[in-house]
Amino acid sequence: MSRWLTRVSVLGDLQVTVDGADHTPAGAIPRRVVAALASTPGRAVPLDRLIHLAWAGRPPSSARNSLQSHVSRLRGRLGADRIVGDHLGYRLDVGEDGLDVAEFERLLDRAAAQAGRPEQAAQHLAAALALWRATPYAELGDDPDVALRVAELEHRRRLARLDLAEARLLAGQHAAASTDLAQFLVEQPLDHRAAALQARALYLAGQQAEALAVLADHRRATRDELGLDPPAELDELEQSLLRRELPTASVSAPGPRPAAPSAFVGRAAELAAADELLAAADGGAGGLLLVSGEPGIGKTRLATEITAHATGFAIAWGRCYDDGQVRALAPWREAVGDWLAVASAADAARLGPQWPRAAATLGIAPTAGEPSPDDLGLAALAEVLHRMAAVRPLLVVLDDLHWGDPASARLVELVSRDIAASPLVVLALFRDGELAGAHPFRGVVGRVRRRDSTRALGLRELDADAVTSYVETRTGATPPDWLVARLMERTGGNPFYLRETVDLLTERDRLDPSDPWPVPEGAFALTEQRLAGLAPPTADLLRTAALDGTVLDVPLLAAAHDTTPLEVLRLLDDAVPRRLLDADPEHPGRLWFAHDLVREAIVDSLTPATRADRHGRLGAVLAERADQRDEASLGRAVRHLLPASIAAPDLAATAVRLSAAASRLALARGDVDEALRHQRAALQPAGSASLPPAELLGLRLDLAELTHRAGRLDEVDYRRLADAAHGVAPEVEARAALGHEHWSVDARRPRTGADDTSVVLLRRALTHDHPPDLRAALLGALAQALAFAGALDQARLVAGRAEAAADAASDRVRAETLTTVATVLDRPADLATRVRLLETATALTEQGDGEFVGADLVARRRLVPDLIRLGRLADADLAIDDLLVRAEAAGSEIDRWHVPLWRAVLSLGRGRLAEAELLVERFRVVATHHGYADTDRVHGVLSALLHLEQGAPQAAREVVELRAADDRFEPWDWTRLLTDWAAGHRDLAAARLVDLSARRFRPSPLFAGIEVFLGCLVAAPVADLGEATHAAELTRIIAPARGQNVVLGAGAALLGSASHHLGVLALRSGDADTARELLGEALRQQRAWGLRPAAERSAALLRAPEAR
């Protein structure tokens, strides 16, 4: 999923869309989790807080594990990178465009920034209000902190509604404003501002009487409700309306000032200060304007804009150069030298008696050589500059003075002494970070700053609004918020980096947040230039630090460079004023790269050999210090070890083991996707590491198991792993055999009998000695594989061995093995044994306090239908309720449709038809949402049985025919026999009976285990239409289940006591005594079980003449 396509909406009931499709979680807990994460945009929600909100203040003991499961599934819905976890908690990362509440507040801020532009403000406000659907964060209930946030948002919405009405009023949209305000006053009749705006809107629309009525009604309501008079402003407004003093035309603000011919944004305050200085100079009171900032911050661009504002000024521009040469007065000579060199005699007279010395000092006199900047000469030159300005106001721009010479700096100081009495402005541009030590301009800046005629502007980075405006100006389109955020993150708002990046991006046909952005050539060159100005050890440290991330780890750098942290800080001192690094003044030693682009440019400058060397140094130190219990610590070490591993086998082996450890930690907290990522990283350097074969095979198996757990079944090949491990690593071979059986079940792989692949692999694995847990698991899996392969007698024998082996296993493995054994023992005669095994398994899982949640749910899921078969319906009700609580806590998707299915079946059996109808539909909706493959089949069977109980056999027949027409589901043949017969289509039913009898009423092996249900399903029509041989065949099928409730599979339908159906068949055979015995037994059972309709059917047959 692309990052920018996910959107979370909380201004109303939670909505989640991915690429426009609805991905809103269905369950209450995952919905609360998403809403809670969205309540703190950009910040992590602590685990305890998230658990509190997710379970509405009543979390179960297993909440922490359950939360991890929920988060894992939500990542599958929203995108793996949407929910970011760390040691503090979880954070929602959907970008600024992905959260409606963030967009709501951003649009309000933009509207506020459109002062004087009501049309634009109204557009932003209307867009913001359109996002509001209902009360925000509805899923989080009455949590006090959330309630405060909701109250704040609702307050902002109320103000926004009024702001929109006012903006429309100013834009001349009186009718629209009045409509908005009328609705607002219905909801908030005592709001003074709304009343005043409505009165204005009506008046400007030519409805003076109605406007006055609004004010009168408001005054009366305020007095009645509050006992107070409205504010005096409303009285004044009323008098103005009576005097007809308000204009009747549209109220509009002046248009915006035309934009500069090129992109220039974010410097309004600085430009205003310069304009003020220019205006004063034009009146004879000049000044010195110092403009400082890091490279690329926009000093020269600001100076260009200032010169465009210097109407009537002569413009002189000079600059210094970083060419290794020191030329005295170079920027001054470039700025005014040519003018002075061609001065006429009359000009020279106006320039005063100091002109010859000034010309000689600047090196422009006909007989002069190089400039000779002594103090007298510089003073003479300063005087001449003031005289030049007296002829015409003069603006001198001196750029890059950080590369200037001492004389140029001294002249700035001398000129500024008398500048307050001269129509002269000197604009001095420099990088303050490069005025280190004894730089000649550093002292000058310190002295001239104290003068009243000096203004100092330290340029900082552009903010997000300025970046938005810049992109709009350069491209003609409003950038999406994610793009602005990424530009801010990458460039830090530095205009040069911003320009270079935008220029590079405009060459692309399409922008996607997931696309990498290369370093622009200009940014790369500037970074290289800045590094070249540093001492080599400092630049070397920065090259290493750039590989580790934005924030510098000083102790790590010290260890990697075999020095001390204090020495590292000393070497990096020079990088801070140059704005390569930023420092935290409150925490000495905390440093970070000023811009991501600077760090990326440094990384790009490294050769492959240097990069591998630095990664290796950092990785070796981090590996030594890594906390084996801290996933982030392990992952950080691996990130450096991987690039270095190709040339260092020892580092490769370390990378493998640390990645595997990180994978185990991620899996322990329930994050399968992250565990899979770590495990893939573990195998990346395995070829360079000298690992024992068994360890390498174990890593490959771990990867296969994680890939399986992530649902990527097509990517898993357990058989190849088992074959590779044979004779090399018995434990790996055994785990691979187990994995193959689990994969076979999940992938619904067809079985091939006793020589099935899973059977072969498991038997081979069992030829080795294994610990009790592994042996019990292998035997249980083998019993299951044999059962699925149709080798039922062998399966039962192995199941007995598995149950015995489970006694020596841990509680978790014992519970899992007993559950598997219960599955294998699927004959009606095994029912009591199955229930005993499953109840033992659930008791074992309860002791695990949530540790065995997977085994617990499986055991309980299989126990419920068996409790129904035994007639323990009250226990089944309790088990369903218990399972629902546990499934909600664990975030189990499958049990979300199992529970309504079982409740529908029990309601139908108990004769609660209206309740059953609702639950049947509930099952269909929930099962469809959660992707249950057989939803339509199970829903069809249930619907048909429901219609039959409701006395609508034709409707039952239509339900079955509709599904059977397009579905080659063999049990439909039995169901169609029943519905054809019940609807009176006896000929069709008789034809189907002939077909089923030819198969001896046995379904194909694929549907083994449901013979009893299908036999009972057709018992009545067979008894009516069939022959005695047919009844005898069905009796043999049903008889083993005598005394049991007849349930389809995992509880998908209920037909009552098998004794009833046997009694029906006994009647057909003419054995009235046996029929009475069976029907009486069924009647007693079904009354005891609460199955009223079935009991009534048994009672009716007992009263029939043929039963007497």
pLDDT in tens, 344-380: 455 666 777 777 887 777 777 655 455 567 878 888 8
Domain layout of the chain by residue ranges? 268-458, 464-508, 523-606, 692-825, 828-892, 893-1107
What's the rounded Cα separation, in Å, for the pair 725 and 737?
10
Between 848 and 1060, residue with greater pLDDT: 1060
Q: Can you read off the two tokens belonging to residue 899?
A: 């529970």
Chain mean position to CA 628: 27
When mean pLDDT is compared across 145-159, 225-239, 825-839, the lowest value belongs to 225-239
- Would you say 281 and 311 are in contact if contact means Cβ atoms under 8 Å apart? no
E strand or H helix that includes residue 1052: none
45-46 vs 83-85, strand pairing mode: unpaired
pLDDT at 4 over 50: no
What's the rounded Cα separation, in Å, for the pair 382 and 453?
16
Q: Specify the pLDDT at position 930.
A: 76
> Which residue's entry shows tokens 């500024």?
416
In terms of average pLDDT, the best of 576-580, 679-683, 788-792, 817-821 is: 817-821
Instruction: Give the CATH fold of the 523-606 domain.
Output: Arc Repressor Mutant, subunit A (1.10.10)
CA atoms within 13 A on the CB side of 306: 34
pLDDT in tens, 1050-1095: 788 889 999 999 999 998 888 999 999 999 999 999 999 999 999 9
What's the rounded Cα separation, in Å, for the pair 489 and 498?
11
> Which residue's entry shows tokens 């947040």?
513
394-399 vs 314-319, strand pairing mode: parallel
The mean pLDDT of the chain is 83
Q: Specify the pLDDT at position 1005.
A: 54
Biggest CA–CA distance in the chain, Å, is: 146
Q: What is the dihedral of CA 832, 837, 842, 845, to 10 degrees?
A: 180
What's the rounded Cα separation, in Å, for the pair 777 and 758?
13
pTM, full prediction:
0.58
> Which residue's entry shows tokens 């698991």?
777
> Which residue's entry shows tokens 């249980």?
780
pLDDT in tens, 164-206: 888 888 777 778 888 888 888 887 887 888 888 888 888 777 7
Chain mean position to CA 972: 44
Hey, how many other C-beta atoms are within 10 angstroms of the C-beta on 336? 23
When mean pLDDT is compared across 42-46, 549-553, 1001-1005, the lowest value belongs to 1001-1005
**Nearest to 405, CA basis, from 324, 288, 338, 336:** 324
b (16+ CB within 10 A) / e for 803-826: bebbeebbbbbbbbbbbbbbbbbb
Instruction: Give the CATH fold of the 893-1107 domain.
Output: 1.25.40
Coil, strand or helix at 346: helix
Region for residue 984 given its phi and psi (left: phi exceeds 0; alpha: psi -120 to 50; beta: otherwise)? left
Region for residue 770 given its phi and psi (left: phi exceeds 0; alpha: psi -120 to 50; beta: otherwise)? beta
E strand or H helix that includes residue 398: strand 394-399
User: Bridge-partner residues for 83, per DSSP?
Assistant: 92
Q: Can you read off the two tokens belonging to residue 175?
A: 């009718």
CA atoms within 13 A on the CB side of 424: 25
Percentage of residues in the chain with pLDDT exceeding 90?
26
Q: List the end-to-end C-alpha distance of the chain, in Å, as a whole number.
A: 71
User: Bridge-partner residues for 91, per DSSP?
Assistant: 84
Angstrom distances, CA of residue 122 to CA of 104, 106, 164, 818: 14, 14, 5, 68
pLDDT in tens, 49-73: 888 888 887 777 777 767 777 777 7
Q: Can you read off the two tokens belonging to residue 1030?
A: 């047919």
Per-residue confidence band for 832, with pLDDT thresholds at 50, 70 and 90: very high
Per-residue confidence band for 753, with pLDDT thresholds at 50, 70 and 90: confident
**Nearest to 668, CA basis, from 700, 614, 706, 637:** 706
Hey, how many other C-beta atoms are within 10 angstroms of the C-beta on 1063? 27
Q: What is the dihedral of CA 999, 1001, 1006, 1010, to 10 degrees?
A: 180
What's the rounded Cα separation, in Å, for the pair 1045 and 464?
69
* Residue 261: exposure state from Cβ atoms within 10 A (0-12, 13-18, ≥19): exposed
Hey, how many other C-beta atoms are within 10 angstroms of the C-beta on 183? 12
Tell me the mean pLDDT in the region 759-787: 93
E strand or H helix that includes residue 142: none
Query: Where does 692-825 sit in CATH, by number?
Result: 1.25.40
E strand or H helix that includes residue 979: helix 972-982
Chain mean position to CA 362: 64
> Which residue's entry shows tokens 């109220």?
251
What interhelical angle do 144-170 and 174-187 show, nearest 10? 150
What's the rounded Cα separation, in Å, for the pair 555 and 622?
11
Strand order in the sheet with 314-319: 314-319, 394-399, 424-430, 287-292, 454-458
Tell me the mean pLDDT in the region 976-1000: 88
Intrachain domains 692-825 and 893-1107 with the same fold: yes
Coil, strand or helix at 278: helix
Phi, psi of 21 (to 5 degrees): -90, 145
Degrees to nearest 5, angle at CA 356 with 350 and 357: 120
What's the rounded Cα separation, in Å, for the pair 661 and 678?
8
User: Bridge-partner residues for 398, per DSSP?
Assistant: 318, 428
Q: Which of these CATH numbers, 3.40.50.300, 3.40.50.1820, 3.30.565.10, 2.30.30.100, describes 268-458?
A: 3.40.50.300
What's the rounded Cα separation, in Å, for the pair 611 and 1030?
82
pLDDT at 257 over 50: no
Per-residue confidence band for 256, with pLDDT thresholds at 50, 70 and 90: very low
Local structure of residue 230 (DSSP, 8 states) = P
Tell me the mean pLDDT in the region 979-988: 93
**Nearest to 266, CA basis, from 475, 461, 64, 535:** 461
